[in-house]
Chain A
Amino acid sequence: MSTPELARSRADWGRLGEPKTIGAAGIAAGVLAFWLTLPPLKATSLVVPVVVGLVAVACGGWAVSAGAKRVGWGAVAAGLLGVGLGIAATNSGRANLTTTFAWSALIASMLVYATPLTYAAMGGLWSERSGVVNIGLEGMMLTGAFFGIWGADKTGNWVLGLLIGMGAGGLLALVYAFFAIHLRTDQIVGGTAINFLALGITGYLFIDVYGSNGTPDLSTGHWLHGQSIPDIPISQHAGFFQTAFGDLNLMVWVSFAVLILTYLIVFRTPLGLRLRSVGEHPRAADTVGISVFRTRYAAVTLSGMLSAMGGAYLTIGFVHSFNQNMTEGRGFIALAALIFGKWRPSGAFAAALLFGFSSALAQRLGTVPHWASYAVLFQALPYVLTLIAVAGVIGRSIPPAADGQPYSKQ
């Protein structure tokens, strides 16, 4: 009939009017409705967010009627949210808004909160890509947190502290791996056990070693030299860039490296291909001579080490002290980020940033009168979003095919 070129050009023209594109534009408009009311633009009139938001709703409505239901409803939701938040923003005091939305500081804060999540989510990615569900991330993180600061304290060297923390996390992961891989324990039961164990062991040792005084405060005195992970000053000029990125902890930058390396190894090297094949179809991997057990042991152990890095960053890079159960569910947020990001490094990182941003915003809100209580509520956001994600509303999250299934050779 028609030549391929003709068909393609038709498709190009057609794409602009496609329901999906319109729906996506609607979502963008919904976000815009809220953003316009925030610094630096700070639209003060109610009209702005309402009009832009309604455009979003309209786009969404049209997209739904044209068949792109998922994107369409997304746009409608975004539009309504945009209008709501926009109205709230225009009604609230200017001063409050400026305090809350100091973007540069917010970005710095977002990165700080996202970093431990990134480490643990990358850890989870290794494990789950190899086919072992890891809900023990929380426990491995906590282990890294305690042993990181313990090591730094005893050796007086944060590098050794970090390594000791990673070693401890890796060891705990190895125990989990033995139960999950060799003994074919239910992986959810095993992961739950790991979380209990980590909570007990770190709590026990913390009190046994440090008693009721707690760990020494790392933010003062000699601790600044050697025992805590240094910040990296990269810019002297005051300004947006300086506040946002100028004085981030070394571990924040390392997390970027871990992210990129994880992506490269898992998706661009033979090793990664083998890892993923074990997680997708272990028997197929086995028949071409890949050792399923060895691959899974290595992946789970690495998973523990990476999670422990996230934990160690918390104690010797960020908070500068340890407390019982100080990870407070960060391991589970990391798991949520992994699922939300569809088991991909970029997706998981984006989710970690989103969740980090919500934490940063919550922390900011906490300092604003009248809004303080909502700061707490904000913490639930990552979980709500993930619940919506697993419900399939915004694109189904599909795990590696063999995730959670023990493997046996006949």
Chain B
Amino acid sequence: MTEQGDRERGAEEAQREVVEERKGGDYAPSVADSLAFYQRAGGIVTALMTAVIAFLIGGIVVLASGSNPFSTYKAVFNGTGLNWLFPWVTGATRATAALNLQQTLLLTTPLILCGLAVAFAFRCGMFNIGGEGQYIVGSIMAVWIASSFVKMNGPLHIVLTIVVAALAGGLYAGIAGFLKATVGAHEVISTIMLNWIAFWVGSWLFALGGPLQSKANGASVPVSNDIVQSAHLHVFWGDPVLQGLHVGFFIALTGLVVYWLTLNRTTLGYQVRAVGFNPEAARYGGIGVARNYFRAMAIAGTFAGLAGAIDVLGWEFRLNVNDIQVSNIGFIAIAVALLGRNTAVGVFFSALLFGALLNGTSTRNLDPTVFRPDLAGNLTLIIQGLVVLFVGADVLVIWIWNQRRRLRPGRAAAVPSP
């Protein structure tokens, strides 16, 4: 038996060497190894813990600046409109809650889709930081097409816009996938660069004198043309004038289903997951690794491009330079995907969480007597940062979780070694 064990250990050592060798020379190691860990570690427990820790620290920040964290979080919660779900909320409060909830879901919609953009690439072992750029490209294409072809039939116009914008997002992300597949350029670097290229090109397009700037008002405002009225998405809940909830929300929900089906029920998804978990085994199994890097990135970009199109057709209706420059949907999406552990259900709930947080802390929804809304927006950023920080440090979160358990007598838990 000794010899067997010894041999086994030898094999493990050899394997570790191979793994290390494989990593050598890459800018940052493939996320494949950490991916496996993220998928399995602690399931929902670590995700919840991560959020709880982030909100706890956020509460301390609130406390430090002289406000009451409990009433602040309560006010934020009421601002999200989620209290609409409680049957005992009635009357005027309920009407306000409905309005707020519409706003929350309006923000959740692009977060779901961009979250899927990050998650899909993640499942193929890539880190797509470029959700933002892909989202911008999708928005630009959407506003361009939806404001052109004035005489086109409405539904057809919408479909055309959405398809072209999604494809544009896919192609744009495909650049990063292509570079990784062909010359091995790390997708993190290329997607960062692509984000900023989209940022500045977008700013240029609608800036004064830019090619897509509106010629109305003597061309004095850095904004695009308005999209055609008939290309607006139907508002099914609330008042279209007050930015009610549009059918794009269902497109996002469909996106979740498509994401799950693609990954788990298609040969494409099988290949993507195999490459993401273990590129070497995938290669051994006859799967083209490079091809899947490109495909997965392009599909990821399609989700983000779709998000851009839906925002434009659903409630933005035009883009100005500022919209492009302050948008950070694609970055929040990183937190969404990581916290949601790259699963469809997880992405939905964490998109809802961040959508609610963004809306609940916005200037117009937060009760200013409880906490200053201009501060709250930044509090959201801090919480977001903490979530990403702790999501990356599962080891720490699990350790904290186990410390809690250890306090209870009789339930000793093994502390995983880091």
Contacts and interface: CB of A to CB of B under 8 A. Distances in A.
Interface stretch (A162-170, A241-249, A268-276, A387-395): A387-395
A67 interface: no
Contact of A207 (B29, B372, B382): B372
B55 interface: no
A179 interface: yes
A103 interface: no
Nearest to B384: A196
A390 B175 CA distance: 12
B259 interface: no
Contact of A370 (B179, B188, B209, B389): B209
Nearest to A406: B29
A347 B186 CA distance: 20
Contact of B201 (A133, A183, A199, A380): A380
Interface in A308-335: 324, 329, 332-333, 335
A387 B200 CA distance: 15
B31 interface: yes
Given A186-B392, A193-B386, A386 B193 contact: yes
Interface string A163-195: 000000000000000010001111111101111
Contacts of A403: 27-28
A187 B28 contact: yes
A203 interface: yes
Nearest to B388: A193
B190 A201 contact: no
A329 B27 contact: no
Contact of B209 (A179, A189, A372, A386): A372
Given A391-B185, A404-B27, A179 B393 contact: yes
A185 B375 contact: no
A333 B196 CA distance: 9
B144 to A, nearest CB: 16
A203 B378 contact: yes
Interface string A102-125: 000000000000000000000000
Contacts of A284: none
Contacts of B379: 200, 204
B293 interface: no
A195 B129 CA distance: 13
A320 B325 CA distance: 22
Nearest to A190: B392
Contacts of B201: 377, 380
Interface stretch (B18-26, B158-166, B264-272, B298-306): B18-26
A207 B374 contact: yes
Q: Which 8 A-B pairs have the closest CB atoms?
A: A200-B381, A404-B28, A196-B385, A197-B385, A200-B382, A373-B209, A189-B392, A193-B389
Interface of A: 133, 135, 179, 183-190, 192-201, 203-204, 207-208, 212, 324, 329, 332-333, 335-336, 339, 370, 372-374, 376-377, 379-380, 383-384, 386-387, 390-392, 396, 398-399, 401-405
Interface of B: 23-29, 31, 34, 61, 65, 127, 129, 175, 179, 183, 185-186, 188-190, 192-194, 196-197, 199-201, 203-204, 207-210, 331, 334-335, 338, 372, 374-375, 377-389, 391-393, 395-396, 418
12 contacts: A133-B27, A183-B396, A185-B389, A193-B389, A196-B381, A203-B377, A329-B196, A336-B193, A339-B189, A379-B203, A383-B193, A391-B179
